[in-house]
Structure 1
Amino acid sequence: MRLTLHQLRLLLAVSREGSVTRAAQRLHLTQPTLSAQLRQLAEQVGLPLYERIGRRLHLTAAGAAVVDTAARLELEFAQLDETLAGLRGDAGGRLRLAVVSTAETFIPRLLGEFRRARPAVEVSLVVLNRDAVLRRLADNLDELYIMSRPPGAPVVSATPFLSNPLVVIAGAGHPLAGRRAIPPAALAAEEFVLREPGSGTRQAAEAFFAAHGV
């Protein structure tokens, strides 16, 4: 059995995205092309690599084994790249960041300041929802992660550096608009536009409502 690093990265992307469609978009491939390459990979392995349950893809035992190896190889290649850069005397290095979408409001300014201070450092950035960032954290793919609440597992070193208040917004003509203090119960009958499941903003809102019995 001869598997290429490219093939392993395809399944790794599907695992992280939970969808062939989203993985194809991330890899800049068409969905039929990615599906065909995944079928070829499964044929080479000789076992099914994933199955559909509901709307999500779930790895089989064989798929999980392939993804685990792919993640370790990806990390080792990144470490090799950094080691070789050090041996060549490159002063730059690499900084990989994965941030939740809320960070889009301030991360460009911070990265701009960092680049001015460290112009030789190669910076890569991915912006995802909380669940996707946590998957990257579990796979140890980046040096730095920015999110609103650090996870309970795996154990990480977290440093708060910005407040992230959440507020309820309504039109000027809404009955609650203009009130300075609104009890949570007053929101029970209201309709909301919320982020998608897996978003930290949505989780924070749901936790707030649950804590107040709304």
Structure 2
Amino acid sequence: MLNLHVLRLFYTVATTGSVTRASQKLNISQPAISAQIHKFEKEHSILLFEIQGRQLVLTPLGEQLIQPLQKLFALEEQVQLRIEDHHSHPKGKLRIVGNYLATSILIPSWAALFKKKYAEVEVQISTANSREALEKLMNFEADVAIYGLGDMPLPIAQGLHWTELYDDEFWFVVSPEHKYANKVITLVDMLGEPFIMREAGSVARERLIELCREQQLTPPAIELQFNGMSGAIHAVRAGYGASFISSLVAKPYVARGELAKVNVTGVKLKNTIVMCTRQQEHVEPLVEKFSAIAVIH
């Protein structure tokens, strides 16, 4: 059986860059750290570090171990957090992460229905862009992830289970006073406008860039960038530039006359909203119950 204590010593030395810094971080003497790592190397007939000049350098095998150990210790931390959560929330805790669309429009009503049935369960909801939401699920930082798929690959190949919830679309939107409001124009004309978008990594922004690449056109200038859709929408409503957003987000603003859609010829892009959970033999009861509510409603 592998000695996880020694592997943690190795990992800390590797990530801090020296036995001295690892000693300070772990509050273990330098000789003790070195001796345990050397003993581990001898037991397994391997070499994890080598000396180059005055520096301690990872061997190829040592480099290969860093990523799996990072995941291992992240899982260990999650186990510890689950135990702490059990004492703080004996009836359970459900961690939901979603992109802006999901947390502002979809998840609130589902979470409310869930809490009506399971009032004593702690429900934690956080917002991230679509790629970050998927990463949090894969890193065991969330139990459910709901986001727009855009042109991202289906996550089932990454050990996750996914359910399609909606077929959404991306819309170009401007203020009602904009010269292109409710007009039919070309993509070239649309891309000539200054754009207001969310941060890099958001599905809408990546899909817009991919559209430009497919059409062999220069992407628009992103003149304003917000970490969240609310700021982008308010800036467009104020009369500056254009944005490219989910129709589920845009429709209420368009219905109230606060935004206007621009009809761009030849552009109709789907944004599939999916719910992802980790693929396992036995689905956790709270995840299964929340998933059932989301699918039905």
| Interval containing the TM-score (normalised by the shorter chain) | 0.5 to 0.7
Check the 8 A contact 1:184/1:212 in 2, yes or no: no
Letter in 1 for 2:158: P
Shift of 1:194: 1.4
Q: Name the residue aligned to 1:41.
A: 25
* Structure holding more strand per residue: 2
Q: Counterpart amino acid of 1:72?
A: L
Distance in 2 (CA, whole Å) between partners of 1:74 and 1:151 is 28
The answer to whether the 8 A contact 1:129-1:198 is kept is yes
Q: Does 1:171 align with 2:189?
A: no
2:123 equivalent in structure 1: 123
- Decide whether aligned partners of structure 1 residues 169 and 94 sit closer, same or farther in structure 2, where only a CA change above 3 A counts: same
Say whether 1:71 aligns with 2:79.
no
Deviations 1:19-72 (A, max 9, x none): xxxxxxxxxxxxxxxxxx99953886899xxxxxxxxxxxx8787466323311
Partner in structure 2 of residue 27 of structure 1 = none
Q: For residues 38 and 148 of structure 1, what CA distance do their matches in structure 2 show?
A: 41
The structure whose Rg is larger is 2
Q: Percent identity?
A: 18
**1:110-161 C-alpha deviation (Å, 9 max, x unpaired):** 2111111221222122211223223212213322101101644514221122
Query: Hey, what does 1:186 align to over in structure 2?
Result: 189
Shift, 1:80, TM fit: 4.9
1:98: which partner in 2? 97
Corresponding residue for 1:53?
Answer: none
Cα distance change, pair 39–205 in 1 and its aligned pair in 2 (3 A): farther
Q: Tell me how far apart the structure 2 counterparts of residues 135 and 118 of structure 1 sit (CA, whole Å).
A: 27
Partners of 2:132 and 2:182 in 1: CA distance: 37
Residues 140 and 175 (structure 1), Cα distance of their counterparts in 2 relative to 1, 3 Å cut: same
RMSD (Å), alpha carbons: 3.8
- Measured in 2, the distance between the counterparts of 1:94 and 1:124 equals 8
d(CA) in 2 for partners of 1:43 and 1:193?
A: 49
Change (3 A) 1:117 1:162: farther
- The two structures have a TM-score, normalised by structure 2, of 0.45
Residues 98 and 142 in structure 1, CA contact (< 8 A), matched pair in contact too? yes
Is residue 199 from structure 1 mapped to residue 198 from structure 2 by the alignment? Answer: no
1:213 is paired with a residue whose SS is coil
Alignment TM-score, normalising by the size of structure 1: 0.60
1:143 aligns to 2:147 (yes or no) = no
- Cα separation, 1, equivalents of 2:208 and 2:24: 43
Residue identity opposite 2:198 in structure 1: R
Query: Could you tell me how far apart the structure 2 residues matched to 1:128 and 1:97 are?
Result: 11
Q: Give the whole-Å Cα distance in 2 for the aligned partners of 1:95 and 1:212.
A: 42
Structure 1: how far apart are the matches of 2:115 and 2:199?
32
8 Å contact from structure 1 (residues 97, 126) kept in 2: yes
Q: What SS does the aligned partner of 1:198 have?
A: coil
The answer to whether the aligner puts 1:111 opposite 2:111 as a matched pair is: yes
8 Å Cα contact 2:131-2:202 kept in structure 1: yes
- The 3-state SS of whatever aligns with 2:189 is helix
Could you tell me which residue of structure 2 aligns to residue 26 of structure 1?
A: none
SS in 1 for 2:169: coil
